[in-house]
């Protein structure tokens, strides 16, 4: 925690775009300003997160204002919480009961290992609520062939290929997704994954969808593609001061 706090102090943040929402200095401000639940806030502190990092203090208000975001922040600066917190805040109640309306949030990561880590972080943050948070794998994909099962899912965390296979098989639809995050977007937008990523983005067909890309670096080519995918985005760049 001490290490994370000194990291916070050494971060320099720039945010560009129209009407950039004001950053927060504490997680509590998110409760006051955006009605983030006490349960979410207490899960943060339970996990030892006492002060937001640069990308969290700037990125979370942007996402809670329903804006699209391109976030570039170095490895280890807490990008995962920066997108998970607003998703859990915005979804409010689990899909649960009868007329579940289908997957509402999708987080795409380039490797299974990373998807697994994101899933763990999400479960910690969501503790105490009955969210259905699914780490997409071959095994979970087959259970989703049952529409009544997949309609109750709140959040899917997956590699691109898993999603594309299920989309093509017609055993998954992303028509009700309101939040799409591309994590380690530099990789998701490079030659290896680009066409899969584009297929996923296209399948998320709600016009009011919120999209965000997160990366430690974003080469010019990937950045151009990212900015074209996003609607009126805000671009946040975090640099570590070298003092």
**Where along the sequence are the contacts to ligand ADP (CB under 6 A)?**
1, 4, 49, 51-53, 56, 73, 75-81
Cβ nearer to Mg ion, comparing 79 with 162: 79
- Contact of 82 with 56, CB cutoff 8 Å: yes
Which partner, Mg ion, ligand ADP, none, binds residue 11 by CB below 5 to 8 Å per kind? none
Contact between 211 and Mg ion by CB under 5 A: the answer reads no
Cβ nearer to Mg ion, comparing 85 with 144: 85
CA distance 81 to 171: 29
Closest listed residue to residue 19, CA positions, set 53, 78, 68: 68
Which partner, ligand ADP, Mg ion, none, binds residue 77 by CB below 5 to 8 Å per kind? ligand ADP
Cβ nearer to ligand ADP, comparing 56 with 210: 56
For the bound state, the minimum distance from the C-beta of residue 157 to Mg ion, rounded and expressed in Å, comes to 12
Cβ nearer to ligand ADP, comparing 88 with 203: 88
Which residue's C-beta sits nearest to Mg ion?
79
For the bound state, the minimum distance from the C-beta of residue 70 to Mg ion, rounded and expressed in Å, comes to 15
The H-or-E segment that residue 106 falls in is strand 105-108
* Long-range residue pairs from 126-131, CB within 8 A, at least 24 positions apart, any chain: 126/43, 126/88, 127/43, 127/46, 128/39, 128/43, 129/39, 129/88, 129/94, 130/94, 130/96, 131/88, 131/91, 131/94, 131/155
Contact between 79 and Mg ion by CB under 5 A: the answer reads yes
């Amino acid at each position: 925690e001490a290490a994370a706090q000194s990291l916070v102090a050494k971060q320099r943040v720039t945010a560009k775009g129209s009407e950039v929402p004001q950053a927060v200095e504490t997680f509590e401000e998110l409760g006051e300003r955006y009605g983030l639940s006490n349960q979410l806030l207490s899960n943060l502190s339970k996990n030892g997160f006492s002060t937001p990092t640069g990308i969290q203090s700037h990125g979370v208000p942007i996402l809670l204002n329903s804006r699209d975001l391109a976030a570039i922040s170095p490895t280890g600066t807490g990008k995962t919480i920066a997108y998970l917190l607003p998703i859990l805040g915005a979804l409010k109640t689990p899909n649960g009961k009868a007329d579940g309306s289908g997957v509402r949030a999708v987080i795409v990561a380039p490797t299974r290992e990373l998807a697994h880590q994101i899933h763990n972080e999400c479960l910690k943050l969501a503790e105490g609520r009955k969210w259905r948070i699914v780490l997409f794998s071959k095994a979970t994909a087959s259970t989703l062939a049952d529409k009544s099962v997949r309609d109750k899912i709140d959040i899917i965390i997956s590699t691109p290929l898993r999603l594309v296979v299920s989309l093509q098989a017609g055993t998954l639809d992303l028509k009700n997704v309101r939040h799409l995050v591309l994590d380690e977007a530099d990789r998701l937008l490079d030659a290896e994954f680009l066409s899969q990523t584009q297929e996923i983005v296209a399948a998320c067909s709600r016009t009011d969808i919120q999209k965000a890309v997160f990366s430690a670096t974003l080469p010019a080519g990937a950045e151009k593609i990212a900015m074209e995918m996003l609607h009126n985005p805000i671009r946040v760049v975090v640099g570590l001061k070298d003092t």
